[in-house]
Chains A and B, each alone.
Chain A
Amino acid sequence: MDLVQLQRQLVDYRTSLYHEGFLDEQFTQLKELQDENNPDFVVEVVSLFFEDSERLLNELSKALEQQVIDFKRIDAHVHQFKGSSSSIGAQRVQKLCIVFRNFCEAQNVEGCLKCLQQVKHEYSIVKTKLESMFQLERQILNAGGSVPV
């Protein structure tokens, strides 16, 4: 594929991500922070987000498998997850975290488990999408072009 097409594909893809609510304005902000001094800022932040999220999701799964469920800890983890996802603009994930927190407050085990599944699902979707987006960007860079803003 040639450069222009790649670029157009990237723009469309990005727009669709916004449109479908996977990303929000915060992501745009992140992109603004990327400049010559920090060329890989977004990728770094997103990678950190992925690591952090994997860890948090593992913790959550473990916590919900316990006999006696410590809702406070779960709430703390979900809070962290919400914070991270809102910082990078992963809107859907963030919204689910809010719902998750409500279930935690209500100490509803069923709800929490269901929410956890949903969060994992959404997270994996957004991860896939972001990775594809980064791949497209890399392709563009490799083709010698510049990534459209």
Chain B
Amino acid sequence: MDSCNCIEPQWPPDDLLMKYQYISDFFIALAYFSIPLELIYFVKKSAVFPYRWVLVQFGAFIVLCGATHLINLWTFTMHSRTVAMVMTTAKVFTAVVSCVTALMLVHIIPDLLSVKTRELFLKNKAAELDREMGLIRTQEETGRHVRMLTHEIRSTLDRHTILKTTLVELGRTLALEECALWMPTRTGLELQLSYTLHQQNPVGYTVPIHHPMINQVFSSSHVVKISPNCPVARIRPAGKYMPGEVVAVRVPLLHLSNFQINDWPELSTKRYALMVLMLPSDSARQWHVHELELVEVVADQVAVALSHAAILEESMRARDLLMEQNVALDLARREAETAIRARNDFLAVMNHEMRTPMHAIIALSSLLQETELTPEQRLMVETILKSSNLLATLINDVLDLSRLEDGSLQLDLGTFNLYAVFREVLNLIKPIASVKKLHVSLNMAPELPEYAIGDEKRLMQTILNVVGNAVKFSKDGSILISAFVAKAELLRDSRTPEFFPVPGDNHFYLRVQVKDSGIGVSPQDIPKLFTKFAQTQSTAIRNSGGSGLGLAICKRFVNLMEGHIWIESEGLGKGCTAIFMVKLGIPERLNESKLAFMPKVPPNLGPAAFPGLKVLVMDENGVSRMVTKGLLVHLGCDVTMVSSSEECLRVVSHEHKVVFMDVCVSGMDGYEIAIRIQEKFTKRHERPIIVALTGNTDKVTKEKLMRVGMGGLILKPVSLDKMRSVLSDLLEHRVLFEAV
């Protein structure tokens, strides 16, 4: 058939195949057109699609394919040349695009595939990170638990609470079945079950400490897994199946007596407690690393907390001990004070009471000596005199010493003749020395001043004591007394390093040496010589009597005189030398005229020593008032008597130069009156000097009197001479302090 341009009937009746082709083409075209639409739609929906260009290409390819198939629809029937042209164009284009696309795909498909692998990789990574996150979280939780546990443990300083809390918290955190603490016993040979989580009162269950498993735990600072059959782990009722895993860790215990900070990391002698932790049985749980770390940390914390608790206990105990000691010391101090007060009271009483009878005995015995006696009687009287002198000396020594110790002894300074003192000593000692056939010689350096200022009586007492000792302890030989002014070089003696005398313008140091050839002293006894009542044990000394107080008192006197005394001896049988240095004042030349009147008024000055001196006597006791008046009248004073304090205040006037006031030991009147009198006379020169008459001369009374402003104090009973010297002293110096 020729191709013609006429339109053929629509459906050639016998071409069914053609019909099916026509329909398929139509649907194909439809599908082909819808695919790019879908693609565009979905790509638009998704945000990420890197291959736009590929899509366009693919879209073009599909569209053209669809177009081709669509145009095919027209070619089933007779069609014109234009259709054929269009068809051809479409086909050509389609071919081009498909080839290009095919070429493009070669590049693209590997890329697309690699995307897939990357995706897989990322997924793995995410899973890994997840796992790590889980781990970190567990660790952080563990850390939190540790902190919480530590806080609980360290919040208390009580040992039991610490341990109990540890077990409870550990049990909770780690969900343990049982947690137990074994402490070493006192002997250190066994471990005793001390604390458990669930059993309330573990009954002294002990395990010997030298078990290999226990040793293994103790030797490692980490947590050690132990077998559930270990004796320390067998403390719970057997589970049905498998007992849970058990770990044990050592807890170092602080042993206080070995506590040295430097040793802390090493812990030399170690005592450990054992902490055993058991997982619940019948569970498949295992000990995880982080749990073990937790346990280790906790064990360390517990050790620290326990050590703190131990230290606290120790310090509390020490504090209690100190308090007890304080109480005991306080008691001892109060007892000592009571004892001292008792002694002072005793001395105060004895002071007067002892001296009076002694005085009477001595006075009367000496009077007796003057009378006519048979030789036997004379001997008896001499013995009495000697013994009573000794006794008087002893009493005086003891009283002196107690006053020296009291610190209440003051030197009576005055100007005296130094040569006279030594001469006096020599005179006193010569009789005894000649009896013993000892030769005594005195050597006084020419540069010694004739007069010196110091306490004459006590200086003489010291020299006499030293010389007396020399005589006492020598059986034969000679005694050499030398006195000279201590030179500056000699002042620094290597034997007396603490003594640094400094000579000055108005004082000098008198150095006296007494050398004897007697029994001497052994070098180790020398320090004891100056202690009270101590005597060396040789019989010679014991036979010669003496209380051992002499040197002690001398030392005190010498110290009061700012000096030093010591004894040198080369040994027993080699004699000894006693040396002392005292500080004496140099009297000024101008006072030479005074020297003649210092300080004792000679007894034959005559009765009217103080003519017309107006004095006031206040005494409640009529008899003693009269006696005192008699004394003063005898001395020429103009005496006014009053018998009470009110009268005294009324009568006293500025004409009265001295007021003698009797102050009884217990009454306070005297002191108050003194104050009132002082208030009455505001001008110093109008005020009378107030002197107290009393029987008590202890330190307390004197202090009271000084505080109140009394001019002086006289011990009753008052003799005529005493009153005379008191008045002369008073009027010269306006102050006395004490006349005994």
Question: Could you say which residues of chain A place their CB within 8 Å of the CB of B630?
Answer: 30, 33, 38, 41, 45
Question: Could you say which residues of chain A place their CB within 8 Å of the CB of B634?
Answer: 32-33, 35, 37-38
Given A29-B719, A35-B634, CB of A87 within 8 Å of CB of B359: no
Q: How far is the CA of A123 from the CA of B659 in the complex (A)?
A: 32
Q: How far is the CA of A88 from the CA of B620 in the complex (A)?
A: 15
Q: How far is the CA of A33 from the CA of B631 in the complex (A)?
A: 6
Q: How far is the CA of A149 from the CA of B384 in the complex (A)?
A: 25
Question: Could you say which residues of chain B place their CB within 8 Å of the CB of A35?
Answer: 607, 634
Q: Is B364 an interface residue (CB 8 A)?
A: yes
Is B720 touching A26 in the complex (CB atoms < 8 A)?
A: no
Question: Could you say which residues of chain B place their CB within 8 Å of the CB of A21?
Answer: 360
| Residue of B whose beta carbon sits closest to that of A26 | B717
Q: Is A145 an interface residue (CB 8 A)?
A: no
| Residue of B whose beta carbon sits closest to that of A44 | B626
Interface positions, chain A 24-53, Cβ under 8 Å from B, are 24-26, 29-30, 32-33, 35, 37-38, 41, 44-45, 48-49, 52
Partner of B623, one of A24, A32, A33, A52: A52
Q: Is A91 an interface residue (CB 8 A)?
A: yes
Is A24 touching B626 in the complex (CB atoms < 8 A)?
A: no
Given A25-B363, A44-B626, CB of A80 within 8 Å of CB of B353: no
Is A88 touching B623 in the complex (CB atoms < 8 A)?
A: yes
| Residue of A whose beta carbon sits closest to that of B633 | A38
Q: How far is the CA of A87 from the CA of B623 in the complex (A)?
A: 7
Is A84 touching B717 in the complex (CB atoms < 8 A)?
A: no
Question: Could you say which residues of chain A place their CB within 8 Å of the CB of B664?
Answer: 79, 83
Q: How far is the CA of A10 from the CA of B607 in the complex (A)?
A: 26
Q: Is A18 an interface residue (CB 8 A)?
A: yes
Partner of B626, one of A25, A37, A45, A98: A45
Is A83 touching B364 in the complex (CB atoms < 8 A)?
A: no
Q: Is B356 an interface residue (CB 8 A)?
A: yes
- Most chain A CB within 10 A, of B353, B607, B630, is at B630
Question: Could you say which residues of chain B place their CB within 8 Å of the CB of A25?
Answer: 359-360, 363, 717, 719
Question: Could you say which residues of chain A place their CB within 8 Å of the CB of B624?
Answer: 83-84, 86-87
Q: How far is the CA of A25 from the CA of B717 in the complex (A)?
A: 9
Is B720 touching A86 in the complex (CB atoms < 8 A)?
A: no
Question: Could you say which residues of chain B place their CB within 8 Å of the CB of A33?
Answer: 627, 630-631, 633-634, 720
| Residue of B whose beta carbon sits closest to that of A42 | B630
Question: Could you say which residues of chain A place their CB within 8 Å of the CB of B631?
Answer: 29, 33
Question: Could you say which residues of chain A place their CB within 8 Å of the CB of B717?
Answer: 25-26, 29, 86-87, 89
Q: How far is the CA of A18 from the CA of B359 in the complex (A)?
A: 13
Q: How far is the CA of A29 from the CA of B356 in the complex (A)?
A: 14
Q: Is B716 an interface residue (CB 8 A)?
A: yes
Q: Is B539 an interface residue (CB 8 A)?
A: no
Q: Is B591 an interface residue (CB 8 A)?
A: no
Question: Could you say which residues of chain B place their CB within 8 Å of the CB of A52?
Answer: 621-623
Size of the B side of the interface (Cβ < 8 Å), in residues, is 25
Interface positions, chain B 626-659, Cβ under 8 Å from A, are 626-627, 630-631, 633-634
Interface positions, chain A 48-88, Cβ under 8 Å from B, are 48-49, 52, 79-80, 83-88
Q: How far is the CA of A85 from the CA of B363 in the complex (A)?
A: 20
Is A83 touching B621 in the complex (CB atoms < 8 A)?
A: yes
Q: How far is the CA of A88 from the CA of B662 in the complex (A)?
A: 16
Q: How far is the CA of A32 from the CA of B621 in the complex (A)?
A: 21
Q: How far is the CA of A84 from the CA of B718 in the complex (A)?
A: 13
| Least Cβ–Cβ distance between A73 and chain B, in angstroms | 13
Q: How far is the CA of A35 from the CA of B635 in the complex (A)?
A: 11
Question: Could you say which residues of chain A place their CB within 8 Å of the CB of B622?
Answer: 48, 52, 84
The proximity string for A residues 84-120 relative to B, scoring 1 for CB distances below 8 Å and 0 otherwise, is: 1111110100000010000000000000000000000
Is B621 touching A87 in the complex (CB atoms < 8 A)?
A: yes
Question: Could you say which residues of chain B place their CB within 8 Å of the CB of A83?
Answer: 621, 623-624, 662, 664
Partner of A80, one of B359, B607, B620: B620
Q: How far is the CA of A38 from the CA of B637 in the complex (A)?
A: 13
Q: How far is the CA of A52 from the CA of B643 in the complex (A)?
A: 14
Q: How far is the CA of A54 from the CA of B616 in the complex (A)?
A: 27
| Residue of A whose beta carbon sits closest to that of B619 | A83
| Least Cβ–Cβ distance between A133 and chain B, in angstroms | 17
Q: How far is the CA of A38 from the CA of B356 in the complex (A)?
A: 27
| Residue of A whose beta carbon sits closest to that of B625 | A87
| Residue of B whose beta carbon sits closest to that of A85 | B623
The proximity string for B residues 587-623 relative to A, scoring 1 for CB distances below 8 Å and 0 otherwise, is: 0000000000000000000010000000000001111
Is A24 touching B356 in the complex (CB atoms < 8 A)?
A: yes
Q: How far is the CA of A85 from the CA of B622 in the complex (A)?
A: 11
Question: Could you say which residues of chain B place their CB within 8 Å of the CB of A98?
Answer: 353
| Residue of B whose beta carbon sits closest to that of A75 | B666
Is A45 touching B633 in the complex (CB atoms < 8 A)?
A: no
Q: How far is the CA of A9 from the CA of B607 in the complex (A)?
A: 30
Q: How far is the CA of A76 from the CA of B177 in the complex (A)?
A: 91
Question: Could you say which residues of chain A place their CB within 8 Å of the CB of B623?
Answer: 45, 48-49, 52, 83-85, 87-88
Is B626 touching A29 in the complex (CB atoms < 8 A)?
A: no
Q: How far is the CA of A149 from the CA of B385 in the complex (A)?
A: 24
Is B359 touching A86 in the complex (CB atoms < 8 A)?
A: no
| Least Cβ–Cβ distance between B153 and chain A, in angstroms | 68
Q: How far is the CA of A83 from the CA of B634 in the complex (A)?
A: 21
Is B621 touching A19 in the complex (CB atoms < 8 A)?
A: no
| Residue of B whose beta carbon sits closest to that of A86 | B717
| Least Cβ–Cβ distance between B623 and chain A, in angstroms | 4
| Residue of A whose beta carbon sits closest to that of B695 | A86
| Least Cβ–Cβ distance between B641 and chain A, in angstroms | 12
Q: How far is the CA of A31 from the CA of B623 in the complex (A)?
A: 15
A-B contact pairs, 14 of them (CB 8 A): A29-B719, A30-B630, A32-B634, A35-B607, A38-B633, A38-B634, A45-B623, A45-B630, A48-B623, A80-B621, A83-B624, A83-B662, A83-B664, A84-B624
Residues of chain B touching chain A, judged by Cβ–Cβ distance below 8 Å, are: 353, 356, 359-360, 363-364, 607, 620-624, 626-627, 630-631, 633-634, 662, 664, 716-720
Additional A-B contacts beyond A29-B717, A37-B634, A88-B623 (10; CB < 8 A): A18-B364, A29-B627, A30-B630, A32-B634, A38-B633, A45-B630, A52-B623, A84-B623, A84-B624, A98-B353
Residues of chain A touching chain B, judged by Cβ–Cβ distance below 8 Å, are: 18-19, 21, 24-26, 29-30, 32-33, 35, 37-38, 41, 44-45, 48-49, 52, 79-80, 83-89, 91, 98
